[in-house]
A and B are shown apart, each in its own frame.
Chain A
């Protein structure tokens, strides 16, 4: 598998989150999941997308640590590298 850049992960994560409800323009690395109204069910779906795309397995305990979109991007990018 070719290396995945942080920017690629960011674009994919933001696209995915935008399908869950929030306006795409609202979503930045600094946005918290709480303010985007992204809950634990959404994060499970995000984990499924990420696993499918990058082969990165995110468990429940991983997801619980995530507060912002940036946190998710960093975690996924580090595991995908």
Chain B
């Protein structure tokens, strides 16, 4: 049997503030972190958390990752010393884009002053593995360490890869997550040209009026540990990471495959990996981007994977309604929000959802938060979806036992 994996630490920096619980509590209260069409982490002042050297050496996406990892490690009780041999601790930090603020700034230097003035830190700050490197360096994690890049499913892929690393016996624990900081002129220009962003600046997933996503920034990091090792050290177990499924559309560079077949397959694989059936699922944290295409394809995929009847029975909400789309951080931040939901039993609503789309007929948790009530007193099981430009599909199955 595959080793079980538990989550012992959560960290998040999001447009709703510093901390995993701030994300869930404020979202559940109906607060939205989107201001003027952007989900910026305005509470995050790097120098409050990092040394001058760290601030200077790290692009914002890495700064966010390091601080979110610090929160997760503190919750896991790792603050002073890791509980495992450093070679046995992995680190996988994903990003969709990498340090684009650095690229833009150094490109300006090259154009305005000349190539010889470009900073030697240009590439080391930009490189998409810089977040993983910074987290590993800061906390002394010396096992397998790398970045993962799969656009908006990057964060979820990081968690899935971390699960496999532990299950294959390559690590006792992995610090895993995703980070993104692309609220730049170039970032907006590109997504605007694609007509992917909401012209109204409103994120209202699944609503008939949805008109694109709202870009956000932030990071989410989780501490995953092999269950028996975690129990031996007396760790507090927050949730179990029970299933991971991942597929590819092999269809289009940006558009989701409309039948949702590959997305549905990812959900089915995650359930199969967890040894669970669709009826065990009591909540879905949707990818729910607020784009016309994603939310339609995701609805179709959920019906296909969970069965129409069960899909219509369970609550489905989108974190992006409260913080926007955090791109490569989204999957990890949303896994954090999902675990907080499982822990508290409070399902936050899809904010701004008011006008139903006749084609999209699931229960998207309009209005207010509501209690999570699994059928038959079973454990709480949630699916967290991530889909991405490029045709990546990832589903994670997360569980909080009834004990």
Which A residues lie at the B interface, using CB under 8 A? 19-21, 37, 41, 44-45, 48, 51-52
Task: Bin chain B's interface residue count.
Answer: 10 to 19
Which of B38-46, B112-120, B148-156, B309-317 forms part of the interface with chain A? Answer: B112-120
* A–B pairs, 22, beta carbons within 8 Å: A19-B52, A19-B56, A20-B52, A20-B53, A20-B56, A21-B51, A21-B52, A21-B53, A21-B56, A37-B53, A41-B120, A41-B121, A41-B124, A44-B120, A45-B119, A45-B120, A45-B121, A48-B116, A48-B117, A48-B119, A51-B116, A52-B117
1/0 contact trace for B25-63 toward A, CB 8 Å?
A: 000000000000000000000000001110010000000
User: How far is it, in angstroms, between the C-alpha of A41 and the C-alpha of B122 when the chains are bound?
Assistant: 11
Closest 8 CB pairs of A and B: A21-B53, A44-B120, A21-B52, A41-B120, A48-B117, A41-B121, A45-B120, A45-B119
Residues of B within 8 A of A45 (CB): 119-121
Residues of B within 8 A of A44 (CB): 120
Write the chain A residue with the least CB distance to B53: A21
| Complex interface residues of chain B between 76 and 122 (CB less than 8 A to chain A) | 116-117, 119-121
User: How far is it, in angstroms, between the C-alpha of A19 and the C-alpha of B52 when the chains are bound?
Assistant: 8
Residues of B within 8 A of A41 (CB): 120-121, 124
A14 to chain B minimum Cβ distance, whole angstroms, is 15
Write the chain B residue with the least CB distance to A41: B120
Residues of A within 8 A of B53 (CB): 20-21, 37
Residues of A within 8 A of B120 (CB): 41, 44-45
User: How far is it, in angstroms, between the C-alpha of A63 and the C-alpha of B76 when the chains are bound?
Assistant: 43
Write the chain B residue with the least CB distance to A21: B53
| Complex interface residues of chain B between 239 and 290 (CB less than 8 A to chain A) | none
Write the chain A residue with the least CB distance to B54: A21
User: How far is it, in angstroms, between the C-alpha of A21 and the C-alpha of B55 when the chains are bound?
Assistant: 9
Given contacts A19-B56, A21-B52, could you give 10 more A-B pairs where the C-beta distance is less than 8 Å?
A19-B52, A20-B52, A21-B51, A37-B53, A41-B121, A44-B120, A45-B119, A45-B120, A48-B116, A51-B116
